[in-house]
Chain A
Amino acid sequence: MTDQELIAPDLPEQRDPKKAQLKPGWYKVADSNDIGSMEAIQVDDFPTQIVVWRGKDDQLSALDLYCRHMGASLACGEVEEDGIRCPFHAWRWSGEGSCNEVPYAKRIPPKAVTRSWEVDELDGSIYVWFDRDGNSADLNGERIDELSF
Chain B
Amino acid sequence: MNSVFKEDVLTSDLPDRFPRGWFALGHQRDFPVGETKNIFGFNRKIKVLRTNDGISIDVGDGESWPVLERNQMILVWHDVEKGDPDYLPKKIDECYSDEWSDYGMASFVVKNNCRELIDNMADKGHFGPVHQAPFEGFWNEAKDHTYTQEMTADSPILGRDLFSQATYEGPAYMTTYMSAVHDGMKVESRLAVTHIPLTLTSFQINFGVMVKKVPGMSAEDEAAFIQGYVDANNYAFGQDVAIWENKIYIPDPVVCDGDGPLRKLRKWYGQFLVNRADIPSGLDLKKREF
Taking beta carbons and an 8 Å cutoff, which residues of A are in contact with B? Answer: 6-18, 48, 64, 66, 68-73, 76, 86-90, 96-97, 102-109, 111-117, 129-131, 134, 136
Contacts and interface: CB of A to CB of B under 8 A. Distances in A.
Contacts of A97: 2, 4
A134 B253 CA distance: 25
Interface in B262-286: 262
Contact of A9 (B125, B201, B242, B262): B201
Given A9-B111, A12-B247, A89-B259, 16 more contacts: A11-B248, A14-B248, A66-B248, A69-B254, A70-B123, A71-B253, A72-B243, A87-B242, A88-B130, A89-B125, A89-B126, A96-B2, A97-B2, A108-B256, A109-B255, A116-B2
A70 B4 CA distance: 17
Nearest to A111: B254
A76 B258 contact: no
A90 B126 CA distance: 8
A73 B242 CA distance: 10
B9 interface: yes
B248 A90 contact: no
Which residue of A17, A71, A106, A131 has the most chain B CB atoms within 10 A of its CB atom? A71
Contact of B40 (A7, A90, A130): A7
B119 interface: yes
Contact of A70 (B8, B198, B201, B250): B250
B9 A11 contact: no
Contact of B247 (A71, A104, A108, A134): A71
Given A9-B111, A72-B243, A107 B257 contact: yes
Nearest to A76: B246
A16 B9 contact: yes
Q: Is the interface of B mostly helix, strand, loop or mixed?
A: loop
B109 interface: yes
Interface string B109-149: 10111000001000111101110000000000000000000
A48 B5 CA distance: 14
B233 interface: no
B1 A71 contact: no
A13 B8 contact: no
Contacts of A7: 40, 109, 198-199, 201-202
A17 B247 contact: no
Contacts of B11: 13-15
B257 A115 contact: no
A71 B251 CA distance: 9
B4 A72 contact: no
